[in-house]
Amino acid sequence: MRLLYFLAHTQAMGGAAKVLITQAYMMKKNGHEVKIVIRNDHRDGHSLSFDTLISNMSIDYDSVYYPIATCLEEIDILDSLTTYADIIPIVSDFKPDLLHSCQINIAVELVARELGIPHLMNVYQVNATMFEMEWLKLLPFYHSGDSNYYCDIWKNGLDITTKCIRVAYESKLRRISNKIGDLKKYHGVNIASFSKYKNQFQIIKFIEYSLNNGIEVYMDFVGNYNNPYGKMCIDYVYSKGLSSYISFIGEVIDVEKYLLKADFMVHLSTSESYPGVIVEAMANYVPIIIAPVGGVLELLSDEINCIIAGGCGYENAYESFIRLKKFYENGYINTIIKNAYITYESNHSYKIVGDELQKYYNFIITDYNDKKNVSQNTLVKNEIQKFFSDSQYSSYSEFFKKHVWYLYHIRKKLRDTNVKSCMIWGAGNAGRLALEWVDYLKLSLIGYIDNYKIGEYCGKPIYNFKTAMNLRPNVIFVSVQKFEIVQEIIQILENSGWRRNWDYFLLFNNPCY
């Protein structure tokens, strides 16, 4: 086969990128012709980590800009239609039998439809409320993820073919050793780009709590920290005098270097599918403390091949660590490490995952060719342009243009109902962005909801949530951007009977909400 792969993010080498690059590498080892396309940013740049890793695998690659989305609400349809033309030559020159992309890549899907090539997308976390909308049929027909948990949600939500393809990793060690040194000192590692849902701040609090309880715990944070959340974590470490115990390593390719000196790995994400870092830990004989989210429990069992934390907070991490410490002291930790390695060998080796992936590719190519007449009758670029053309939105802001796809579907949803009035939650800068949405949807704006402000904003009154509910708005637009505050607002609305993508809509969507 000739296989062409499209990466997603441009600057941080995340787990999803490693998965797709590894999948390309396994297919190369199996004798197939492969090529990888690195996604550039708007300035035609990307992290050189991609070049280094792909070159080390002796895989041919190219780079070009195209938009991607992690959830359907964030699809940038206008940008996809524009960048489509830049992808056509790369695909036409390589003449692939199959396209395989990471995250939601509509530009590549449009190319796939025009050229008659099957397209498989790797997408992981998803919130089922995304499927409250009746989306235009513009998604790839084939999907894969690394957990059955999320594969089932995608399958039921879009009625597409999906398959769980586990994370693949090649172990570089062949021995199991006891912890060497002082049992009063423990060295941990966390491997993830810094973000609110990766929850590194709670791991920092766990280190602080352990030290306050007389236990020396050291931690290496391996991952990109150049963002506001990372800065907040670093500032906290220095303000609390923890810099002797906590190191911020940044993004690396050779994670094994940090696993080799680790007594344990801790992962407290509030949202995950099946993180690849736990596979790396199991393969390198590092015991794992992990929160039970997504598909984690499909292969991991508490005190059998890992330590399952009771939650995502620092207290949960500490309780789990005390159990791990006890197992180090009585020697049972080696049983957990051995069981974890067996789990790795049975589910994540190149041989096992590579064979599964190749079978899926063969199925997709055969299935696609059998259904080709059907697939060619779905929406293609020229038809999509009838729904969406940049000229009709020339007077709107760039933020509005990036969300034309979502707004088209909101308008379609509201058109058949008696929706007339709305409110905007968030009397801040983003609240102005929602005004364009209200105008486009031809709704009457009652006012703003904000539990921390009073008075007026943009000429409209501000109400707290309780008062706002007495005014009975038909629709609420949540214009808040900060992750944890949006989480709180979602909880309030859901507890009050509101449904996301039904009668309330987020301006800033994230599959991890």
Contact 8, 32 (CB under 8 A): no
Contact 410, 505 (CB under 8 A): yes
DSSP string, 217-237: EEEEEES---SHHHHHHHHHH
Largest distance between two CA atoms of the chain: 70
- Angle formed by the axes of helices 404-415 and 77-94, to 10°? 120
The amino acid at 212: N
Residue 148 has pLDDT above 50, yes or no: yes
pLDDT band at 501; cut points 50, 70, 90:
very high
* Mean pLDDT for the stretch of residues 181-201: 88
Structure tokens that stand for 423 in this block = 């409110």
Query: For 75-92, how does the pLDDT look when each residue is reduced to its tens digit (9 = 90+)?
Result: 999 999 999 999 999 999
Partner residues linked to 145 by β-bridges? 164
Residue 174 has pLDDT above 60, yes or no: no
Contact 28, 67 (CB under 8 A): no
CA atoms within 13 A on the CB side of 24: 32
- Residue 298, number of CB atoms within 10 A of its CB: 14
Q: Give residue 343's pLDDT.
A: 97
Contact 297, 285 (CB under 8 A): no
- Residue 40 and residue 510: Cα distance in Å, rounded? 22
pLDDT band at 376; cut points 50, 70, 90:
low
Q: Which burial class, exposed, middle or buried, applies to 248 when counting CB atoms under 10 A from its CB (0-12, 13-18, 19+)?
A: middle
- Residue 12 and residue 212: Cα distance in Å, rounded? 34
pLDDT mean across residues, the chain = 93
Partner residues linked to 461 by β-bridges? 456
* Mean pLDDT for the stretch of residues 150-162: 95
pLDDT band at 26; cut points 50, 70, 90:
very high
Proportion of the chain above pLDDT 70, given as a percent:
97
Q: Give residue 386's pLDDT.
A: 85
- Residue 87 and residue 108: Cα distance in Å, rounded? 7
Q: Give residue 173's pLDDT.
A: 59
Pair type for strands 460-463 and 288-290: unpaired
- Residue 313 and residue 101: Cα distance in Å, rounded? 34
Contact 424, 477 (CB under 8 A): yes
